[in-house]
Chains A and B, each alone.
Chain A
């Protein structure tokens, strides 16, 4: 199985801050990396697919990047709605696997 290591596991930040979350794959997964946002009690919501493509309707303050087997999602200026848990997921091969999640909290 492809292991996805996500860090940090939690992050405290303030409105307006720029934050970056990283996900590292245990092997090459090309661009088959997706990011989801999950608010408490809600289903995950797709933010970014194919490492850097923004899902329709997602604000442009979200961006994704890839360097080898390392992937980042960056929020350029945190808004109150952004405080949630974020997951990466590889769709290169089955079984599809997710990172452990990053909980983004208000400082």
Chain B
């Protein structure tokens, strides 16, 4: 059973960098999967942030592209998110999720439980 677990600080200062890690267990980290970050501001809808492919290639949501970096460490079965110059608008629950695979329609089939990151001084 594939499991994803986010970790990182729950409080970030304005203008600083938000850093989160997602550890993947119970399945292959490769095999043509994509690994995404998705966020949800309190009481609002879902926003896709970006993904990293198992080969290390990335794709980011344009409004966030200048501030986002997603990286992968296949040896540790984990991938990470960095979001720079954060403001209160970046306060959200951050999820990591898997999609892709053979025959896939790129649906997000496994999700982490989510971690709340608050941007505040």
What residues of chain A have their CB less than 8 Å away from a CB belonging to chain B?
A: 1, 31-32, 34, 36, 42-46, 49-50, 53, 55, 87, 89, 91, 94-101
Q: A94-B59, A95-B61 are in contact. Are A43 and B112 (CB under 8 A)?
A: yes
Instruction: Return the CB mask of B84-121 against A: 1 if under 8 Å, else 0.
Output: 00000000000100010000011111011110000000
Instruction: Please give, as numbers and ranges, the residues of chain B lying within 8 Å of A49 by CB-CB distance.
Output: 105, 107, 109
Bound together, the chains give a CA A97 to CA B110 distance in angstroms of 17
Partner of A36, one of B59, B105, B108, B113: B108
**CB-contact partner of B105 in A32, A42, A45, A95, under 8 A:** A32
> Provided the pairs A43-B95, A43-B113, A43-B114 are in contact, do residues A98 and B48 lie with their beta carbons within 8 angstroms?
yes
Q: B45 to A100, Cβ gap below 8 A? A: yes
Chain B interface: which size bin? Answer: 20 to 34
Q: Which 4 A-B pairs have the closest CB atoms?
A: A49-B107, A91-B106, A43-B111, A50-B105
Interchain CB contact under 8 A, B48 and A96: yes
Tell me which residues across on chain A come within 8 A of B114, comparing CB atoms.
42-43
CA of A95 to CA of B36, assembled, Å = 11
Q: Tell me whether B95 and A95 are in contact (CB under 8 A).
A: no
CB nearest to B59 among chain A residues: A94
With contacts A43-B95, A43-B112, A44-B111 taken as known, whether A98 is within 8 angstroms of B106 at the C-beta atoms is no
